[in-house]
């Protein structure tokens, strides 16, 4: 299942109003029969319209999901980070991939052939339950993301995007200042938060002026990344908040 709003699927921290994400270590049953691959930035894991030959577990790294429509229009429909499965729906339905998956950073993956994965789900109740939980979490997140698109300001959507991206990319031992490079083009960030590229540039300047971030030679520096997180109560009671782009 895929969404066109931004939240990073993966990571280990839940947060307020946010179901806990799976950890890459939760998939022992999956990994026991898997193949290990390393994909460099820019490499395609699978292409839209091709048969689902593998199911992928992302152990580390960041992946973007892209879709191209018949008129040639291209849309980034989501991001996936550590602990997430990709290709499950196509493998179970035995249907072609609805998106193309591209590595944004160096990605460490575990892969299982689709036929083997279907057999594993039939034979391993624990693995089957874990997959149900992950798919339910994605549906839950999509509802909150769609609400956020209608209820959050563009600035808050960008702040939430940066918070999630920093959480996905920062080293595990980083507790204070966070430095990272956004591995997306300006138009891709704009699509994820439903604004124009020029407006993203304007919002970044506002955040820099307000002291929420600094930019230096292509790096974004957050001295207090927690200031970018918006809890569900920060808008109105009827506007639950979710990060944008990561499910």
Sequence ranges of the domains in the chain: 8-144, 153-234
User: Per the structure block, which two tokens stand in for 70?
Assistant: 């018949």
Angle (nearest 5°) at CA 144 between 89 and 125: 40
8-144 CATH choice from 2.30.40.10, 3.40.250.10, 3.40.50.2300, 2.60.120.10: 2.60.120.10
Report pLDDT for 246.
63
Does residue 239 carry a pLDDT above 60? no
Q: What is the pLDDT of residue 177?
A: 82
Residue 232 pLDDT greater than 90, yes or no? no
Q: Mind listing the pLDDT tens digit for each residue in 126-175?
A: 999 989 988 888 888 788 778 878 888 999 999 989 988 888 886 555 55
Q: What pLDDT shows up at residue 10?
A: 53
pLDDT score of 87 more than 80: yes
Q: Encode pLDDT of 181-206 as tens digits.
A: 999 999 999 999 999 999 999 999 99
Architecture of domain 153-234: Orthogonal Bundle (1.10)
Would you call 100 helix, strand, or coil by DSSP? strand
pLDDT on residue 228 = 87
- The pLDDT value recorded for residue 24 is 53
Global pTM value = 0.80
Q: Please give the residue that has the higher pLDDT: either 91 or 243.
A: 91
| Residue 32 confidence class, pLDDT cut points 50, 70, 90 | confident
Our measurement of the distance from residue 57's CA atom to the centroid of its chain's CA atoms, rounded to an integer in Å, reads: 13
**Helix, strand, coil percentages, rounded to 5, for the chain:** 40, 25, 40
């Amino acid at each position: 299942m895929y969404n066109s709003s931004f939240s990073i699927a993966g990571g280990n921290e839940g947060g307020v109003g946010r179901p806990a994400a799976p950890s890459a270590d939760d998939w022992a049953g999956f990994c026991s029969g898997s193949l290990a691959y390393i994909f460099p930035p820019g490499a395609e894991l699978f292409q839209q319209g091709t048969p689902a030959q593998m199911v992928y577990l992302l152990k580390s790294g960041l992946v973007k999901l892209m879709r191209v429509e018949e008129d040639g229009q291209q849309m980034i429909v989501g991001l996936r980070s550590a602990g997430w499965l990709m290709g499950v729906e196509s493998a179970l339905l035995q249907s072609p991939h609805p998106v193309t998956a591209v590595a944004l950073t160096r990605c460490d993956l575990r892969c299982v052939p689709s036929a083997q994965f279907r057999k594993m789900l039939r034979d391993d109740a624990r693995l089957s339950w874990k997959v149900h939980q992950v798919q339910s979490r994605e549906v839950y997140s999509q509802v909150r993301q769609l609400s956020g698109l209608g209820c959050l300001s563009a600035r808050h959507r960008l702040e939430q995007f940066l918070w999630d991206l920093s959480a996905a990319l920062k080293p595990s031992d980083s507790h204070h200042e966070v430095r990272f490079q956004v591995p997306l083009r300006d138009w891709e960030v704009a699509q994820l938060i439903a604004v124009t590229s020029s407006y993203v540039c304007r919002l970044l300047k506002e955040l820099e002026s307000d002291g929420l971030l600094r930019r230096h030679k292509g790096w974004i520096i957050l001295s207090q990344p927690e200031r970018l997180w918006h809890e569900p109560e920060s808008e109105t009671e009827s506007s639950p908040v979710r990060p944008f782009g990561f499910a």
